Amino acid sequence: MTTFRIAVRLRAPDPAARTARLALSRVMPAECPAILSRYDLWEFDVESGGLEVVEAILGRYPDILNPNKQESLVLGGEPLPGEDASMTWVSVEISDRDSGSSAGWSSVIGRAGFPVAEVRCKVLWILGYPGSATTGEVLEKAGAVAVSVTRSRGLLSNPVSQTARIFIPERPGSEGSPGK
């Protein structure tokens, strides 16, 4: 079994990311990142075969990847496009508990005959803070932004139905930093 992680983003600026940053700048200005980008994150547990299985799925279902308006990236540790080395970047990965979307897509793709045991639909947010901030500071700010506690604290996930994994992404040649 091999798990492939595919990030899908709009070719145009992402309206959800712009709206999220606007909302955060109003309710949590101290924790609001300077740059915020958003990806649909798809995880495919492929039972037999390699990346070509995922490519076939992406080619068949425009609801996952519409090449007219979206592009996909196979995640493997390299920096995502647009990540400026002068900034400190934090990843926030949002997963639904008992995800109806994941269950639905697992069923649809399994019925279509693809050798995929499970599909998980997630959202990946990339938060960029000025490079002068320490790793601890950005992890703390990203943690506050990631989990909704009240109307004025947190935004990116609802802790009742979702989990948020917050981490400094590992890069080639670095050891990475532990998240929380």
Partner 1 sequence: MRPGVAVVQFPGSNCEYETALALQEAGLDGRIVRWNASPSSLASFQAFVLPGGFSYQDRIRAGAVAARDGVMDAVCSMASAGRPVLGICNGAQILVESGLVPGWRPGTIEAALASNLSPGRTGYYADWVFVRPARGSARSPWLCACDDSPIPLPVAHAEGRFLFPSGTELDDLESSGTPALTYCMPGGEPAVEWPWNPNGSSFSLAGILDPSGGVLAMMPHPERARWLWQVPPGLPGPWGAKRRLSSGRAAIHEPGPGSAVFSSLARWLGAG
Of 131, 124, 133, nearest in space to 165 by CA: 124
Tell me how many residues contact partner 1 (CB under 8 A).
32
Binding residue for partner 1 (CB under 8 A) from 161, 174, 176, 180?
Answer: 161
Distance of CA 126 to the CA centre of its chain: 7
Say which DSSP state 36 is in.
E
Contacts of partner 1 in 28-87 (CB under 8 A):
none
66 versus 177: smaller Cβ distance to partner 1: 66
Alpha-carbon distances of 155 from 52, 54, 158, rounded to whole Å:
36, 31, 8
Separation between Cα atoms, residue 21 and residue 32, nearest integer Å: 7
The answer to whether residue 91 forms part of the interface with partner 1 (CB under 8 A) is no
**Span from 4-12, 44-52, 72-80, 144-152 in contact with partner 1 (CB under 8 A):** 144-152
Shortest Cβ distance from residue 84 to partner 1 (Å)?
24
Shortest Cβ distance from residue 46 to partner 1 (Å)?
20
Q: Which spans in the chain are helix H? A: 15-27, 51-60, 100-111, 135-146
70 versus 99: smaller Cβ distance to partner 1: 99
Q: Is 61 helix (H, G, I), strand (E, B) or coil?
A: coil
Separation between Cα atoms, residue 89 and residue 171, nearest integer Å: 11
Binding residue for partner 1 (CB under 8 A) from 8, 35, 73, 99?
Answer: 99
The answer to whether residue 95 forms part of the interface with partner 1 (CB under 8 A) is no
Binding residue for partner 1 (CB under 8 A) from 1, 2, 11, 15?
Answer: 15
The answer to whether residue 23 forms part of the interface with partner 1 (CB under 8 A) is yes
Q: Is 82 helix (H, G, I), strand (E, B) or coil?
A: coil
Separation between Cα atoms, residue 58 and residue 153, nearest integer Å: 36
**Span from 52-60, 70-78, 85-93, 98-106 in contact with partner 1 (CB under 8 A):** 98-106
Binding site residues, partner 1, CB under 8 A: 15-16, 19-20, 23, 26-27, 96-101, 103-105, 107-108, 111, 148-152, 155-162
